Structure 1
Amino acid sequence: MDLWECLVNPSSEECKSLLKKHLTPERFEKLKERETKYGGTLADCIRSGCKNLYCEVGIFTCDPHGYTIFADVIDDVIKDYHKVDKLDHPEPDLGDLENLTFGNLDPSGKYIVSTRIRVGRNYDNYGFPPILTKDQRLAMEATTKEVLLNFTGDLAGTYHSLETMSQEEQQDLIQNHYMFRVEDSLLGAASIFNDWPSGRGIFFNNDKTFLVWVNEEDHLRLISMQKGGDLGAVYKRLCTAIKTIEGSDVQFAKRKGLGYLTFCPTNLGTTLRASVLIKIPHLSAQPDFGKFCENLHLQIRGFHGTRTKGVDGIYDLSNKRRLGLTEFHAVEEMRRGVEICLTREKELEAAQKRKAQKRKA
């Protein structure tokens, strides 16, 4: 198999991916001929990782059934990436929305530019991008539109198809961090962009504080966001949307011990990513910034997302753990970490001011 040869070839010594680590020759021989009930194969799962040897993980999942059929390798990748010994993710728990323990993390508005929480969801009767057809994407889009256009109250809004959207409109949405990009080689090799832009679109509520990406990586990405640091408001809005959708006839892919299933095994369980775009020029300039955030279970991203750099001390900080804890606790963990970062930033800022005053004196 050409893909396998790319992965194990002696010239690929620079490859340190979890795929290479856990897809042993014995496992490859055992799994290479297997097929899921959706028609997915091992090749569909590992194609991107074999073509992009520099990647960290290297394996996507062809469809929900793939988590069972290829569990021999995928389960070990999941445990390794998420740093867990067993796959015993708890049942969903959004917490007590009437008595949340968090609200606005930055009432002054000086540090937090915006707050955002998203979750991924996938229908349980369709495959993931490596095996999806154009007709299947279009069918999912039609089902999704019907659900979303029945939203009421502050979730009510409109759906915009990428097929009818101009390039200028798309670029404007990307620049304003509303819409997904189509420039990633890892995702491209995993067939994310097949039949582009058919079956893709974006739903906005009227205030543009809630949106849904349709057929990007996952079938759905539900996103609640707004300017400033009001984490409580952002979380409540997202939870209302989740409950509304799951109260319809829609069935999402789940597996006991793994929670909600997604295209990428790095994003399982809650699938929840709570983040703030935050100005921390003093903290981010510290040599131990990365370790500081890692100890708080925070993930650092640049101003423009994954694999980008910070701009003027502005970074995206989010919860790193998504598996093994509830949705509420994932947000709480992010909240605690961000508050510690804010405290440290203020301490460093004050120390710099004191030094400047001494120099003047």
Structure 2
Amino acid sequence: MNKIQFTPVTFPMEIRYRPILESLVPPDPMSQFRLKRGSPEEEFPDLCRNSTWMGRILTPAMYRRQFNRCTHSGVIFDDVIRPGIEEPDCSGPASVGCVAGDAQSYILFCDFFDRIIEAYHEHKVTNETPESDWNFDNLKGGDDLDTSYAVRCEVSTVRGVEDFCFPTHCSRGERRQLLSLARRALQQLEDELPGCLFTLDNLNPEQQRELNLNSPSCSQLRTGLARDWPDARAVWLSKDGGLVVWVNMEDHLRMVAARDDANVAEAFKCICINLQKLEEFYRDLRHPFIYKQQLGWVTSSPADVGTGLRINVYIKLRLLPQHKRLHDVLKRLRVHMNKAESPTLYRISNAVAFGLSEVELTQLVVDGVKLLIAMEKRLEGDGDIDELVPMQK
């Protein structure tokens, strides 16, 4: 059969005005750097033993498309994929293997980041704005966990600040400006919730231990998160100890509500109320939090896009961790389970942050914890848990 030949459609007006339109296109930022690099084929990384999401998704064709792109602040694609190249066998829930140097990275390298986000969060990126729900009254339960098993909880969320690069790429001056903004915004928060801001270089060793503050890890040093440590890093503590705001650590801001009674409902309420206040203060300072229509709230890690929300509940389990069906149960519940500081204490957390609203994510963890505790009780009574295993969520 003869192939049908298609003649390209030409438009006279396009031909006439193309030289003018092309002259208006900004020059390629990459041309300013004069990087001595080979071709995309010569520069393509070795991904043979790479177990990160970056290593599974990146192809030579995709790398070629990103190769000559550069954000206005100087982020190139090799900056994005460097974490996964330097730690190819990273395991655990945060093994996306890539970071965004600035908010524009999510737009310029969208054909890469969208695939990473879809694979990690198991949710399609569409043109629709992600659903949001900060109405804590919509949460069912969370204040009724069995305290003989549930020990404590933490609800946290991260935010990026508009007009600044993310911590992996920001300059020393940017970091100091971010601290100045945080100081002004948090002073307004103190009008209703008393607290105090401490810079890390002013904390004594005992205070650092109380905050579980460790020295930067090798990974943080390699990715640039710990540059100039501890310059312009700070922590804000509420007077009652229930709310903490980290400034310029792994993100511009991380707000954490922690409770010793495992009352997830109250921790979530604390985050809902104070985050929305802080968001308003930053907007008044003309530096709102970074939001993208298709992705929701974005920060440096694709693992946090959407809500930036992380719910951790610490529970005591003795028999369930050894059960043959545990992996299947966790996957169906869409939660992670990791060992904590003692042999029988485990941290249960949401596996994703994108694709569900804030209330839905919190509800998912609350319901999951209740079911895991019910399974543990069933095993303690020499019962079978098969009938408790949920359908795939």
Asked if 1:341 corresponds to 2:372, the answer is yes
Name the SS of the counterpart of 2:141 in structure 1: coil
**Which range is displaced more, 283-292 or 132-141?**
283-292
Q: 8 Å contact 1:212–1:222 — kept in the other structure?
A: yes
Q: 8 Å contact 1:112–1:276 — kept in the other structure?
A: yes
Task: Give the root-mean-square deviation of aligned CA atoms.
Answer: 2.2
Q: 8 Å contact 1:290–1:300 — kept in the other structure?
A: no
**What is the number of residues matched between the two proteins?**
337
Residues 287-325 of structure 1: CA distance to partner in whole angstroms, max 9, x if unpaired?
Answer: 332322221111112215xxxxxx221110011121111
1:291 and 1:6 mapped to 2: Cα distance? 39
Asked if 1:315 corresponds to 2:346, the answer is yes
Name the SS of the counterpart of 1:149 in structure 2: helix
Q: Using a 3 Å threshold, how does the CA distance of structure 1 residues 22 and 207 change in structure 2: closer, same or farther?
A: same
- Matching of residues 274-289 of structure 1 within 5 Å: 274-289=311-326
**How far off its partner does 1:7 sit?**
6.4
- Matching of residues 33-182 of structure 1 within 5 Å: 33-55=68-90, 56-87=95-126, 88=128, 90-95=130-135, 97-98=136-137, 100-106=139-145, 109-152=147-190, 155-174=193-212, 179=213, 181-182=214-215
2:259 aligns with 226
Which one has the largest radius of gyration? 2
Instruction: Show structure 1 runs of 5+ residues with no match.
Output: 305-310, 353-361
Residues 25-72 of structure 1: CA distance to partner in whole angstroms, max 9, x if unpaired?
Answer: 222222222111222221221122121221332111111110001112
Residues 104-147 of structure 1: CA distance to partner in whole angstroms, max 9, x if unpaired?
Answer: 232x5211111110000010110112221111111101110111
1:205 aligns with 238
1:254 aligns with 291
Residues 174-193 of structure 1: CA distance to partner in whole angstroms, max 9, x if unpaired?
Answer: 1xxxx4x4443333321110
**Which range is displaced more, 211-220 or 54-63?**
54-63
2:307 aligns with 270
1:13 and 1:274 mapped to 2: Cα distance? 34
1:355 aligns with none
Residues 194-249 of structure 1: CA distance to partner in whole angstroms, max 9, x if unpaired?
Answer: 11001111111111111011111110001111102211111111111111111222
**How far off its partner does 1:6 sit?**
8.3
2:130 and 2:111 mapped to 1: Cα distance? 22
**How far off its partner does 1:152 sit?**
4.1
How high is the TM-score relative to the length of structure 1?
A: 0.87
Name the SS of the counterpart of 1:150 in structure 2: helix
**How far off its partner does 1:83 sit?**
1.3
Name the SS of the counterpart of 1:86 in structure 2: coil
1:219 and 1:164 mapped to 2: Cα distance? 19
1:154 and 1:281 mapped to 2: Cα distance? 42
Instruction: Show structure 2 runs of 5+ residues with no match.
Output: 1-36, 384-393
* 1:127 aligned partner, one-letter code: C
How high is the TM-score relative to the length of structure 2?
A: 0.80
Asked if 1:30 corresponds to 2:47, the answer is no
Q: Using a 3 Å threshold, how does the CA distance of structure 1 residues 196 and 183 change in structure 2: closer, same or farther?
A: closer
2:168 and 2:343 mapped to 1: Cα distance? 38
Q: Using a 3 Å threshold, how does the CA distance of structure 1 residues 6 and 327 change in structure 2: closer, same or farther?
A: same
Name the SS of the counterpart of 1:163 in structure 2: helix
Q: 8 Å contact 2:44–2:60 — kept in the other structure?
A: no
**How far off its partner does 1:336 sit?**
0.8
2:376 and 2:129 mapped to 1: Cα distance? 34
1:291 and 1:173 mapped to 2: Cα distance? 35
Q: Using a 3 Å threshold, how does the CA distance of structure 1 residues 281 and 5 change in structure 2: closer, same or farther?
A: farther
**Which range is displaced more, 154-163 or 317-326?**
154-163
